[in-house]
Structure 1
């Protein structure tokens, strides 16, 4: 069985790979989330000021 992996080994390697990817890219996901919140708040403020002008 040299070179072959059993199902539990494949499952473990897959879970480990996904978890590692999430761990590595977590700061990027958090920054994107913060940017989206800031953008939404700025848009809300802009809409409120447009309503006041009308």
Structure 2
């Protein structure tokens, strides 16, 4: 017997899927953020060293 899903059931499934995806990929997002901060700090240090040479 087939029956259709209600809008509230679909919205609940979508919300659950998004929350699960964020939970699973959170470590990857955190690592990316840390890497970007490190690169920015290195770039600022390099620029400061270049300015001192001038």
* TM-score relative to the length of structure 2: 0.95
Q: How far 1:2 sits from its partner (Å)?
A: 2.0
Asked if residue 39 in structure 1 is aligned to residue 52 in structure 2, the reply is no
Equivalenced residue count is 54
* TM-score relative to the length of structure 1: 0.95
Asked if residue 5 in structure 1 is aligned to residue 16 in structure 2, the reply is no
Once the two structures are superposed, residues 15-49 of structure 1 have per-residue CA deviations (whole angstroms, 9 ceiling, x without a partner) of 00000000000000000000000000000000000
RMSD: 1.2
Match of 1:24 in 2: 24
Structure 2 stretches lacking a partner, 5+ long: none
- Alpha-carbon distance in structure 2 between the residues aligned to 1:37 and 1:19: 26
